Homo-oligomer: A and B are copies of this chain.
Amino acid sequence: MARTAKSPHIPSIGELDRNAGPLGRQLAQKLREAVRGGDIKPGELLPSTRALAKSLGVARGTVVEAFEQLQAEGFLDSRPGASTRVALSLAGTQRTPSGPRKGSMRGKQPPLPSPASAFAQVARQFMPLPPVPFAISVPVGPAAPGLVWRRLGNRIRSHGKGAPDGYGDPQGVLPLRKAIADYVRRSRSVHCEPEQIIVTTGTQQGLYLACLVLLGSEDTAWVEDPAYRGITAILETLEPKGRMVRVPVDAEGMDIEAGLRLQPDARAAFVTPSHQYPLGMPMSMARRNALLHWARSNAAWVVEDDYDSELRYAGHPFPSLQGLDPDRVIYLGTFSKILFPSLRLGYAIVPPRLVDAFCGARALLDRHPPSADQHVLSAFIGEGHLDRHIRRIRGVYAECRTQLSQILEDVLPSDLAWLQPSDQGMHSVLWLAPHIDDEAVAIEAARAGVAVRPLSPMCAQNNRRSGLVLGLGAFPTEQIMSAAKRLAAIIAAASSPPTPQARKRAGLAMRIRGPSTLL
């Protein structure tokens, strides 16, 4: 044995650096590394604290502190009156001397877990778009609630509410639930009490909760075709797989007859009745009634995703489906669209008998919503700011919509791309001629600084349609005009057979980022 208790020389310890933090801690770390690197072996005696302190030029107490820490960790063994040894229990655990010092075993990577690749694909599709036209829900310019929100927040926090606090209710704070109940009753004809409201971090969490609570392992669910990717991706990844039944949408919304043919005994239907996502039409009254009739006859539940009904520009928003059958409809609302997405606050309104189950599922996902902004939002609604803000942005987005239609009509090749008419919401669908690859257009657009989501990934595999989802944003006119022109050029180019270079480039982009992004 080269080193003994008499030899205080352990080369890998080197010198301690008085400017790099507590010396005892540095020494402990160096000793750990020396053991792991094989410089000191299990069972070997260490120098005495006195000898090591002397050789390192530090106080003996420093070495004692390091040894005590390492004994507590099981790195070192020492018995009263005896010397200190590297613990024998560490035998066989060191790295080979030639092994990497950090990130051990890098050469022998473990295989990826089986769910990883599906989630990685989802990550690419949910990559946020940059704040340029035609990203959705970008609170810029006149659409942003900035100053009022900030001042109100400072005031609320200074009065104790919204101050640092302990664990909270999975359901959310009561003042916010009361404010939401008032708001949806008067604006959406939702029948509810604050006790039925679960404050969520937005529609996405509401959809996840609904899937967890409503669907047993044998249960299937109707989902619109096309639909929000946020719901289809949940059902694609949630075990057991294969429980999603895509039901086509026509001019009246989800085709209930088709659902009855495809899977009459589904346990739940996920719908966007106020403003079908992404196509934009409301669900007709006849379809609403047919849907509820089916749900009643089949002990099924309806999940109403009411993500942007506030932004209807002609007439009033449709009353909610929930108001027609509050015992059977789970109503999901969000402040992401009308206020701002980065707030991450929304709500699920559920039949009283499901409240506990939603709270439990929510506790498992993330315990409860952060408290401070709940108090700010509750005051924002209670003091009338939300109603004023909605009135204002309704005008703002109505103008944006008119402007966008005109600009697109002017610059787009009308045989290749045309807008789906719609009179509400914060986005429009731009249909593309069927031979145009919308995912390739979206990738090229991103490269040209234009943010669009392709429509085809929102469609069922056997029913892919080519189109783009364009968000309305209060961007300056010249910015919109410029983006529209670039988009028009890309669509025109995508319509002609690509050159080999372009094909190569697109293939490369796909490999790097995946089929870039959709909502």
Contact = CB atoms under 8 A, between A and B. Distances in A.
Nearest to A89: B286
Contact of A164 (B292, B339, B372): B339
Given A164-B139, A215-B113, A240 B237 contact: no
A252 B105 CA distance: 25
A213 B116 contact: yes
B121 A301 contact: no
Interface stretch (A3-11, A142-150, A439-447, A479-487): A142-150
Nearest to A186: B21
Given A164-B139, A267-B113, A325-B104, A89 B285 contact: yes
B68 A315 contact: yes
A79 interface: no
A72 interface: yes
Contacts of A170: 123, 126
A204 interface: yes
B73 A119 contact: no
A11 to B, nearest CB: 22
* A75, A108, A234, A239 pick with most chain B CB within 10 angstroms: A239
B343 A370 contact: yes
Contacts of A296: 105, 108, 110
Given A21-B186, A87-B285, A219-B114, A69 B370 contact: no
B150 A202 contact: no
Contacts of A72: 282, 314-315, 318
A57 interface: no
Interface residues of A, number: 142
B344 A219 contact: no
A144 B21 CA distance: 27
Contacts of A157: 150, 153-154
Interface in A287-334: 287-290, 292-293, 295-296, 299-301, 314-316, 318-319, 324-328
A277 B401 CA distance: 55
Contacts of A293: 92-93
A178 interface: no
A360 B121 contact: yes
A356 interface: yes
10 contacts: A89-B285, A112-B354, A113-B213, A145-B164, A150-B158, A201-B201, A201-B366, A237-B364, A365-B365, A365-B366
Given A74-B287, A146-B164, 8 more contacts: A69-B316, A72-B314, A93-B292, A104-B324, A119-B356, A121-B360, A135-B166, A212-B237
